[in-house]
Amino acid sequence: PDLSYVAGAGRDVFQAIVKGSRTIVVLESTVYPGVTAQTWMPIIEELGLKIGEDLEIDYCPERFNPGDPAHGVRQVARVIGCSNPEVGAALVSLYQRLTTEDVRYVGKLEVAEAAKVIENVQRDINIALVNELARIFPALDVDVEDVLSAAATKWNFHRYTPGVGVGGHCIPVDPYYMIQRAADVGVPAGLITAARAVNRSMPSHVAGVLSDLMWNAGVAAGDAKVLLLGWSYKAEVGDPRETPAEPLAETLMSKGITVGAWDPHLDEGSYPEGVEVISDIGAAQGYDMAVLVTAHKACLTLDWASLAKQMRTPLIYDGRRVLDLEELNSSGWNAFAVGRPV
Protein backbone atom coordinates (compact mmCIF):
# COMPACT_ATOMS: atom_id res chain seq x y z
CA PRO A 1 0.00 0.00 0.00
CA ASP A 2 0.97 3.62 -0.54
CA LEU A 3 1.86 4.99 2.89
CA SER A 4 3.08 8.37 1.65
CA TYR A 5 -0.02 10.16 2.97
CA VAL A 6 0.42 8.64 6.43
CA ALA A 7 4.07 9.67 6.42
CA GLY A 8 3.32 13.14 5.03
CA ALA A 9 0.58 13.87 7.54
CA GLY A 10 2.79 12.66 10.37
CA ARG A 11 5.70 14.84 9.27
CA ASP A 12 3.49 17.94 9.05
CA VAL A 13 2.20 17.37 12.59
CA PHE A 14 5.56 16.44 14.10
CA GLN A 15 7.25 19.53 12.70
CA ALA A 16 4.80 21.69 14.64
CA ILE A 17 5.30 19.94 17.97
CA VAL A 18 6.97 21.91 20.75
CA LYS A 19 9.69 19.95 22.53
CA GLY A 20 8.73 18.84 25.99
CA SER A 21 5.00 19.20 25.26
CA ARG A 22 4.33 15.46 25.21
CA THR A 23 1.75 15.98 22.47
CA ILE A 24 -0.48 12.99 21.78
CA VAL A 25 -0.77 12.13 18.07
CA VAL A 26 -3.42 9.60 17.01
CA LEU A 27 -3.57 7.85 13.64
CA GLU A 28 -7.06 6.71 12.57
CA SER A 29 -6.39 5.57 8.98
CA THR A 30 -6.80 1.87 8.22
CA VAL A 31 -3.33 0.29 8.13
CA TYR A 32 -1.80 -3.13 8.64
CA PRO A 33 -0.07 -4.08 11.92
CA GLY A 34 3.17 -2.18 12.42
CA VAL A 35 2.55 0.77 10.10
CA THR A 36 2.14 3.48 12.73
CA ALA A 37 5.50 2.83 14.37
CA GLN A 38 7.38 1.79 11.22
CA THR A 39 6.24 4.85 9.28
CA TRP A 40 6.37 7.49 11.96
CA MET A 41 9.34 6.54 14.14
CA PRO A 42 12.02 7.28 11.48
CA ILE A 43 10.48 10.74 10.96
CA ILE A 44 10.30 11.37 14.70
CA GLU A 45 13.97 10.42 15.10
CA GLU A 46 14.98 12.51 12.09
CA LEU A 47 13.33 15.57 13.67
CA GLY A 48 15.12 14.95 16.97
CA LEU A 49 11.94 14.27 18.92
CA LYS A 50 11.60 11.73 21.73
CA ILE A 51 8.67 9.49 22.59
CA GLY A 52 7.55 10.08 26.18
CA GLU A 53 9.08 13.55 26.34
CA ASP A 54 7.99 15.43 23.23
CA LEU A 55 5.14 13.27 21.96
CA GLU A 56 3.22 10.02 22.19
CA ILE A 57 1.97 8.12 19.14
CA ASP A 58 -1.26 6.17 19.29
CA TYR A 59 -3.70 4.35 17.04
CA CYS A 60 -7.51 4.45 17.14
CA PRO A 61 -9.05 3.11 13.92
CA GLU A 62 -11.85 4.98 12.27
CA ARG A 63 -15.14 3.11 12.45
CA PHE A 64 -18.44 4.04 10.87
CA ASN A 65 -20.88 2.62 8.37
CA PRO A 66 -21.59 4.96 5.41
CA GLY A 67 -25.29 5.37 4.75
CA ASP A 68 -26.18 3.94 8.16
CA PRO A 69 -27.16 6.68 10.67
CA ALA A 70 -27.34 4.10 13.47
CA HIS A 71 -23.60 3.43 13.12
CA GLY A 72 -22.02 6.84 12.57
CA VAL A 73 -18.83 8.06 14.23
CA ARG A 74 -20.71 8.85 17.45
CA GLN A 75 -22.51 5.50 17.68
CA VAL A 76 -19.70 2.94 17.36
CA ALA A 77 -17.29 1.32 19.80
CA ARG A 78 -13.63 2.34 19.55
CA VAL A 79 -10.34 0.64 20.38
CA ILE A 80 -7.12 2.43 21.31
CA GLY A 81 -3.60 1.12 20.98
CA CYS A 82 -0.42 2.67 22.36
CA SER A 83 2.64 1.57 24.29
CA ASN A 84 1.88 3.78 27.31
CA PRO A 85 -1.11 2.63 29.43
CA GLU A 86 -1.36 6.06 31.05
CA VAL A 87 -1.84 7.71 27.66
CA GLY A 88 -4.21 4.92 26.66
CA ALA A 89 -6.40 5.68 29.68
CA ALA A 90 -6.41 9.39 28.84
CA LEU A 91 -7.49 8.65 25.28
CA VAL A 92 -10.25 6.37 26.52
CA SER A 93 -11.61 9.32 28.51
CA LEU A 94 -11.39 11.56 25.44
CA TYR A 95 -13.08 9.17 23.01
CA GLN A 96 -15.81 8.39 25.54
CA ARG A 97 -16.93 11.97 24.97
CA LEU A 98 -17.11 11.36 21.22
CA THR A 99 -19.17 8.15 21.13
CA THR A 100 -22.04 6.64 23.07
CA GLU A 101 -20.55 3.15 22.78
CA ASP A 102 -17.69 1.30 24.47
CA VAL A 103 -14.14 2.67 24.25
CA ARG A 104 -11.37 0.25 25.14
CA TYR A 105 -7.59 0.43 25.57
CA VAL A 106 -6.29 -2.77 23.95
CA GLY A 107 -2.55 -2.48 24.55
CA LYS A 108 0.10 -1.95 21.94
CA LEU A 109 -0.38 -0.20 18.61
CA GLU A 110 -0.28 -3.38 16.58
CA VAL A 111 -3.31 -4.88 18.35
CA ALA A 112 -5.54 -1.96 17.41
CA GLU A 113 -4.12 -1.86 13.88
CA ALA A 114 -4.75 -5.57 13.38
CA ALA A 115 -8.26 -5.36 14.84
CA LYS A 116 -9.32 -2.85 12.22
CA VAL A 117 -7.94 -4.88 9.33
CA ILE A 118 -9.44 -8.20 10.39
CA GLU A 119 -12.88 -6.66 10.87
CA ASN A 120 -12.99 -6.18 7.12
CA VAL A 121 -11.08 -9.38 6.32
CA GLN A 122 -13.72 -11.36 8.20
CA ARG A 123 -16.55 -9.74 6.24
CA ASP A 124 -14.75 -10.39 2.97
CA ILE A 125 -14.33 -14.07 3.83
CA ASN A 126 -17.96 -14.48 4.90
CA ILE A 127 -19.22 -12.78 1.75
CA ALA A 128 -16.88 -14.91 -0.37
CA LEU A 129 -18.38 -18.06 1.14
CA VAL A 130 -21.95 -17.19 0.15
CA ASN A 131 -20.79 -15.93 -3.25
CA GLU A 132 -19.09 -19.26 -3.89
CA LEU A 133 -22.19 -21.11 -2.74
CA ALA A 134 -24.22 -18.93 -5.11
CA ARG A 135 -22.18 -20.41 -7.94
CA ILE A 136 -22.29 -24.02 -6.72
CA PHE A 137 -25.94 -24.50 -5.79
CA PRO A 138 -27.58 -23.40 -9.06
CA ALA A 139 -25.52 -26.11 -10.78
CA LEU A 140 -27.20 -28.55 -8.38
CA ASP A 141 -30.63 -27.07 -9.21
CA VAL A 142 -30.86 -25.57 -5.72
CA ASP A 143 -31.53 -21.93 -4.85
CA VAL A 144 -28.81 -20.63 -2.53
CA GLU A 145 -31.34 -18.41 -0.74
CA ASP A 146 -33.42 -21.44 0.21
CA VAL A 147 -30.29 -23.07 1.63
CA LEU A 148 -29.20 -19.98 3.56
CA SER A 149 -32.68 -19.44 4.98
CA ALA A 150 -32.81 -23.05 6.12
CA ALA A 151 -29.34 -22.89 7.66
CA ALA A 152 -30.23 -19.65 9.44
CA THR A 153 -32.73 -21.53 11.59
CA LYS A 154 -29.72 -22.73 13.60
CA TRP A 155 -28.93 -20.26 16.38
CA ASN A 156 -25.23 -19.85 15.61
CA PHE A 157 -25.37 -19.60 11.82
CA HIS A 158 -24.30 -16.16 10.58
CA ARG A 159 -26.40 -15.10 7.59
CA TYR A 160 -24.81 -13.32 4.63
CA THR A 161 -26.31 -12.68 1.19
CA PRO A 162 -24.56 -13.22 -2.17
CA GLY A 163 -24.30 -10.45 -4.73
CA VAL A 164 -22.68 -9.17 -7.89
CA GLY A 165 -19.50 -8.29 -6.00
CA VAL A 166 -17.96 -6.37 -3.12
CA GLY A 167 -17.21 -2.66 -3.35
CA GLY A 168 -16.14 0.36 -1.34
CA HIS A 169 -12.83 1.61 -0.02
CA CYS A 170 -12.56 -0.92 2.85
CA ILE A 171 -13.57 -4.53 2.24
CA PRO A 172 -12.02 -4.94 -1.24
CA VAL A 173 -8.81 -3.20 -0.13
CA ASP A 174 -7.97 -4.03 3.48
CA PRO A 175 -7.43 -7.79 2.99
CA TYR A 176 -4.47 -6.99 0.76
CA TYR A 177 -2.82 -5.19 3.70
CA MET A 178 -2.99 -8.39 5.72
CA ILE A 179 -1.87 -10.52 2.78
CA GLN A 180 1.17 -8.28 2.29
CA ARG A 181 2.05 -8.18 5.98
CA ALA A 182 1.81 -11.98 6.20
CA ALA A 183 4.09 -12.29 3.17
CA ASP A 184 6.58 -9.91 4.81
CA VAL A 185 7.02 -12.32 7.71
CA GLY A 186 6.89 -15.47 5.57
CA VAL A 187 3.45 -16.71 6.61
CA PRO A 188 0.88 -17.85 4.01
CA ALA A 189 -2.51 -16.15 3.93
CA GLY A 190 -4.25 -18.63 1.67
CA LEU A 191 -7.78 -18.23 3.00
CA ILE A 192 -7.72 -14.43 2.83
CA THR A 193 -6.22 -14.57 -0.67
CA ALA A 194 -8.79 -17.10 -1.89
CA ALA A 195 -11.69 -15.07 -0.51
CA ARG A 196 -10.46 -12.00 -2.33
CA ALA A 197 -10.21 -13.99 -5.56
CA VAL A 198 -13.81 -15.20 -5.23
CA ASN A 199 -15.26 -11.76 -4.56
CA ARG A 200 -13.11 -10.12 -7.21
CA SER A 201 -14.35 -12.62 -9.81
CA MET A 202 -18.07 -12.20 -9.10
CA PRO A 203 -18.69 -9.35 -11.60
CA SER A 204 -17.10 -11.44 -14.37
CA HIS A 205 -19.12 -14.48 -13.32
CA VAL A 206 -22.36 -12.49 -13.33
CA ALA A 207 -21.52 -11.03 -16.75
CA GLY A 208 -21.23 -14.56 -18.09
CA VAL A 209 -24.58 -15.52 -16.58
CA LEU A 210 -26.24 -12.44 -18.09
CA SER A 211 -24.79 -13.23 -21.52
CA ASP A 212 -26.15 -16.77 -21.34
CA LEU A 213 -29.59 -15.61 -20.23
CA MET A 214 -29.84 -13.14 -23.10
CA TRP A 215 -28.56 -15.72 -25.59
CA ASN A 216 -31.22 -18.16 -24.40
CA ALA A 217 -33.81 -15.41 -24.96
CA GLY A 218 -32.60 -14.96 -28.53
CA VAL A 219 -30.47 -11.87 -27.94
CA ALA A 220 -26.93 -12.11 -29.32
CA ALA A 221 -24.15 -10.32 -27.43
CA GLY A 222 -23.39 -7.97 -30.32
CA ASP A 223 -26.97 -6.67 -30.28
CA ALA A 224 -27.63 -6.83 -26.53
CA LYS A 225 -28.27 -3.86 -24.25
CA VAL A 226 -28.00 -4.15 -20.46
CA LEU A 227 -29.34 -1.58 -18.00
CA LEU A 228 -27.61 -1.46 -14.60
CA LEU A 229 -29.87 -0.24 -11.80
CA GLY A 230 -27.53 1.38 -9.32
CA TRP A 231 -23.81 2.05 -9.65
CA SER A 232 -22.65 3.02 -6.14
CA TYR A 233 -20.90 0.31 -4.17
CA LYS A 234 -23.56 0.49 -1.44
CA ALA A 235 -27.22 1.36 -1.03
CA GLU A 236 -28.11 4.98 -0.24
CA VAL A 237 -24.51 6.10 -0.71
CA GLY A 238 -23.26 8.21 -3.62
CA ASP A 239 -19.82 6.61 -3.73
CA PRO A 240 -18.56 4.66 -6.78
CA ARG A 241 -15.20 3.64 -5.31
CA GLU A 242 -14.34 0.02 -6.12
CA THR A 243 -17.95 -0.59 -7.14
CA PRO A 244 -18.53 -4.03 -8.68
CA ALA A 245 -20.66 -2.24 -11.28
CA GLU A 246 -17.52 -1.07 -13.07
CA PRO A 247 -15.88 -4.48 -13.73
CA LEU A 248 -19.34 -5.86 -14.51
CA ALA A 249 -19.87 -3.15 -17.13
CA GLU A 250 -16.34 -3.56 -18.50
CA THR A 251 -16.79 -7.32 -18.92
CA LEU A 252 -20.14 -6.88 -20.63
CA MET A 253 -18.78 -4.22 -22.97
CA SER A 254 -15.80 -6.45 -23.82
CA LYS A 255 -18.39 -8.92 -25.16
CA GLY A 256 -19.85 -6.25 -27.43
CA ILE A 257 -22.82 -5.57 -25.14
CA THR A 258 -24.07 -1.99 -24.75
CA VAL A 259 -24.30 -0.94 -21.09
CA GLY A 260 -26.45 1.80 -19.61
CA ALA A 261 -26.60 2.79 -15.94
CA TRP A 262 -29.00 4.67 -13.70
CA ASP A 263 -28.13 5.75 -10.18
CA PRO A 264 -30.00 8.69 -8.59
CA HIS A 265 -27.18 9.16 -6.06
CA LEU A 266 -24.46 9.88 -8.63
CA ASP A 267 -23.75 12.54 -11.23
CA GLU A 268 -22.67 11.88 -14.81
CA GLY A 269 -18.97 12.27 -14.04
CA SER A 270 -19.03 9.18 -11.82
CA TYR A 271 -19.15 6.69 -14.68
CA PRO A 272 -16.35 5.35 -16.88
CA GLU A 273 -16.16 6.01 -20.58
CA GLY A 274 -18.44 3.88 -22.70
CA VAL A 275 -21.33 3.59 -20.24
CA GLU A 276 -24.60 5.19 -21.31
CA VAL A 277 -25.64 7.38 -18.37
CA ILE A 278 -29.39 7.38 -17.77
CA SER A 279 -30.58 10.46 -15.90
CA ASP A 280 -34.30 9.71 -16.27
CA ILE A 281 -35.30 6.08 -15.80
CA GLY A 282 -38.47 6.78 -17.75
CA ALA A 283 -36.31 7.45 -20.80
CA ALA A 284 -34.46 4.13 -20.62
CA GLN A 285 -35.77 2.45 -23.74
CA GLY A 286 -34.91 -0.68 -25.70
CA TYR A 287 -32.80 -2.62 -23.19
CA ASP A 288 -32.76 -6.40 -23.05
CA MET A 289 -31.70 -7.00 -19.46
CA ALA A 290 -32.11 -4.93 -16.30
CA VAL A 291 -29.70 -5.76 -13.48
CA LEU A 292 -30.15 -4.65 -9.88
CA VAL A 293 -26.60 -3.80 -8.83
CA THR A 294 -27.25 -1.49 -5.86
CA ALA A 295 -30.25 -1.82 -3.57
CA HIS A 296 -31.05 1.88 -3.36
CA LYS A 297 -34.60 2.53 -2.17
CA ALA A 298 -35.18 4.37 -5.45
CA CYS A 299 -34.28 1.18 -7.31
CA LEU A 300 -36.40 -1.10 -5.15
CA THR A 301 -39.51 1.06 -5.49
CA LEU A 302 -39.46 1.46 -9.27
CA ASP A 303 -42.65 1.05 -11.26
CA TRP A 304 -41.63 -2.37 -12.50
CA ALA A 305 -44.59 -2.85 -14.82
CA SER A 306 -43.83 0.43 -16.61
CA LEU A 307 -40.13 -0.34 -16.87
CA ALA A 308 -40.91 -3.78 -18.33
CA LYS A 309 -42.86 -2.08 -21.13
CA GLN A 310 -39.84 0.12 -21.91
CA MET A 311 -37.62 -2.93 -22.41
CA ARG A 312 -37.02 -4.54 -25.77
CA THR A 313 -36.64 -7.88 -23.97
CA PRO A 314 -38.02 -7.80 -20.41
CA LEU A 315 -35.34 -9.80 -18.63
CA ILE A 316 -34.33 -8.82 -15.10
CA TYR A 317 -31.54 -10.10 -12.84
CA ASP A 318 -31.59 -9.44 -9.11
CA GLY A 319 -27.93 -9.05 -8.21
CA ARG A 320 -28.70 -8.44 -4.52
CA ARG A 321 -31.46 -10.97 -3.73
CA VAL A 322 -33.83 -8.32 -2.42
CA LEU A 323 -36.58 -8.32 -5.08
CA ASP A 324 -39.80 -10.33 -5.16
CA LEU A 325 -39.20 -12.42 -8.27
CA GLU A 326 -42.75 -13.76 -8.44
CA GLU A 327 -44.12 -10.23 -8.36
CA LEU A 328 -41.71 -9.24 -11.12
CA ASN A 329 -42.85 -12.17 -13.24
CA SER A 330 -46.44 -10.98 -12.73
CA SER A 331 -45.40 -7.48 -13.84
CA GLY A 332 -44.24 -8.61 -17.26
CA TRP A 333 -40.67 -9.66 -16.53
CA ASN A 334 -38.76 -12.88 -16.90
CA ALA A 335 -36.93 -12.72 -13.57
CA PHE A 336 -33.62 -14.29 -12.52
CA ALA A 337 -31.31 -13.82 -9.55
CA VAL A 338 -27.79 -14.47 -8.34
CA GLY A 339 -27.59 -17.96 -6.85
CA ARG A 340 -30.92 -19.08 -8.30
CA PRO A 341 -31.22 -21.92 -10.80
CA VAL A 342 -32.30 -20.88 -14.29
Cβ atoms of 36 and 3 within 8 Å: the answer is no
pLDDT of residue 68: 74
pLDDT of residue 300: 97
pLDDT in tens, 57-95: 999 999 887 777 777 778 899 999 999 999 999 999 999
The active-site residue, picked from 60, 82, 170, 299, is 170
pLDDT in tens, 152-162: 999 999 999 99
Nearest alpha carbon to residue 1 among 23, 32, 24? 32
* Phi and psi, residue 195, nearest 5°: -60, -40
Active site residue 299: no
pLDDT of residue 66: 74
Distance CA 51, CA 255 (A): 58
pLDDT in tens, 184-194: 999 999 999 99
Distance CA 185, CA 291 (A): 43
The partner residues of 80 in beta bridges, in order of sequence, read 105
- Region 215-231 average pLDDT: 96
Domains of the chain, each with CATH number or no CATH: 4-115 (3.40.50.720), 120-342 (3.40.50.720)
pLDDT of residue 90: 96
Q: What is the pTM of this model?
A: 0.92
